[in-house]
Chain A
Amino acid sequence: MKEKIDQLFENEAQLPKISSVVSKVMEMVGKPDVVIADLAKEISKDPGLTAAVIKLSNSAYFRPAKPVKTVQESLMTLGIKTVQEIVLLNETKGILKKELKGYQVDGESNWLHSLIVAELAKRIAVQKKLKVDKDVVFTAGLLHNIGKVILAEFFPAVLMQFRTELQTYQGPYTDLEAKFFGYTHQEAGAKLLAKWNFPEELIEVARYYTEPEKATQFPELVSIIHIANCIVILGGMGIDIGGLKIPLSSKALQNVGVTEGDLQMYYTLLPEMAKHIEELISV
C-alpha cells in the first residue's frame, strides 16, 4: 500500500491538483511587498475564479462594506488575505466535496465539516485574542484533513479488512490507517500540501492536527485547529468510521487557553455557525 501511495505522489497525474493561477496567487500573497493591482491581474486570468471571487465577496458571510464589482474592489474592500481565503475555498471545494468512501462520510458532510472547522477555528482565535493571523487560521481549518481524500481513493480494495479490524481495535485510529495504507491521512495531507508548495503553517496543521503535542513550529495554530476539529466531530459533522477516537489534547487546551466554559460555548454555537456558512456551502 505504502508503495502505491508513494507512486501516487511521484506520478502527479492522479493527485488532486490546484490551478497555476491559484498557486501563483498563494505565492504572491506570501510575499511582504505584494501589489494589489498585480494580484487582481493574476486572478482575472481565470474567468471562473474571477466570477467566484466577486460572488463570494458579496455574500452575507464576508459582508463587504459596499457592493463589490471587480476583483480589484474585492481586494481593496475585504483585504488580500480574505480574498486569498476565497480563492482557496473556491479551488478546494471540488476536492473537499468528494465522498470519503470507506470513511462513511458523504461529500456534502465533508465540505460542511471543513468549512465549519475553519469558521470555529477563526472564532476561537478571535475570542482568545491570539496572535495568529485569522485568515491563516481559516485556511488551515479548511485544509486540515485533506489527506483523507487521498486515502479514501484507496479504500475499496482494503475496505473489508480495515473495517473488520476497526470494530475490535482499541489503539489510536491513525495507527490503523498507517498499518493498512502505509500512511496516516495526516501524513498524506501534509505531503499533498507540500507538493502544492503551500506555506509551512498549513503543512504542520495537516500533519499534527490530531496530535498537537508534536507540533514544533506552530503549536498554537495546530492547537486551535485540533480543538475546533474535536468539537465539530462531537457535533457529528463529518464524523467518520473512526468515531470519537481522537482524544482532545489537554496540552492544546493549555496552548490556546481554552477553558471548560469556552468548550461549552463553542459546542453550543455550532448550529448558528452552520447557518452562517450556509452560503459558502452552496457555492
Chain B
Amino acid sequence: MLNKDVKIINVGIADIQGGQSPSMIRTTLGSCIGVVFYSPEKKVGAMAHIMLAKDPSGKDSSKNPHKYAETALPELVKRMAELGCNKGDYFARLFGGASMFKGMNSSFLQNIGDLNVSVAKEFLDKEKITLLVEDVGGHEGRTISLYLDDGRILLKKGGFEKYLYKVR
C-alpha cells in the first residue's frame, strides 16, 4: 500500500526526475525506455523516460536532450551525482522498448523499441554501470514505479502487476 506521506514524482515523456526516500518515481512506457538508477545505501534514485536512441535530425538534441538516449543518459548520470551518488554507488534497471503494432509497415516505428534498448545497454556497458534487471520488448506497455525507501519496482504490464526487489 502507498503511504500517504509518500510523494509521487511523475516522469513525463522525454523527462528525467530524481528523488530520495520515501518518495516514489513513476512513468508509463510504450516504445520509450525507462532507465532506472538506484543507490541502496543512500536510498536515492533517478529515472529517465527516453523516446529515441538518437536524434534523427541532429538539430533537436541540443534543445531537448532528454528525448534521446545518447544525450539523456549522461544527464541521468549527472542527476545521480547531484543527488550525491558516484558511479559504483548505484545500479541500473531497464524497462520498456515495446515493439510497434503488429504488421506495421513503418520501419522507423517498428524499430524504435529495439534500438532504444540496445543503445541504453551499450551506454551502461561503456560506463560500467551494472544492469541488474530488465523487462523490455514485447507488445505491452508498462507502468513502472520506483519506491525509493527500498528500491523495489512495481511493474504493471498486460494486465498483471509484480514487485521486483533486486536492487544490488
Chain A residues proximal to chain B, CB less than 8 Å? 104, 109, 162-164, 166-167, 230, 233-237, 239-241, 243-248, 250, 253, 260, 263-264, 267-268, 270-272, 274
Within 8 A of A (CB), among B1-42: 12-15, 27-32
- A163: chain B residues within 8 A (beta carbon): 159-160
A244 contact from B28, B141, B143, B160, Cβ within 8 A? B141
Cα-based distance from A236 to B32 in the complex (angstroms): 7
Bound CA span A260–B96, Å: 23
Tally of contact residues, B, Cβ under 8 A:
41
Q: Judge if B103 is at the interface, Cβ distance under 8 Å.
A: yes
The distance in angstroms between the C-alpha atoms of A242 and B47, with both chains bound, is: 24
Q: Is the CB of B31 within 8 A of A234?
A: yes
Judging by beta carbons under 8 Å apart, are B51 and A268 in contact? yes
Q: Give the chain A neighbours of B100 by CB distance below 8 A.
A: 234, 244, 248
Q: Are the C-beta atoms of A264 and B56 separated by less than 8 Å?
A: yes
Q: How far is the CB of B116 from chain A (nearest CB, A)?
A: 12
Closest residue on chain A to residue B30 by CB atoms:
A236
Contact A250 B105 (CB under 8 A): yes
Tell me the complex Cα distance, A59–B67, Å: 27
Q: Is B109's CB under 8 angstroms from A235's CB?
A: no
CB-nearest residue of chain A to B29: A236
A274: chain B residues at CB < 8 Å are: 12-13
Contacts of B32 in A (CB 8 A): 235-236
Asked, given contacts A241-B159, A248-B101, whether A234 binds B109 with beta carbons under 8 Å apart, the answer is yes
Given contacts A248-B101, A272-B64, 6 further A-B contacts (CB under 8 A): A162-B159, A246-B101, A248-B100, A264-B109, A268-B67, A274-B13
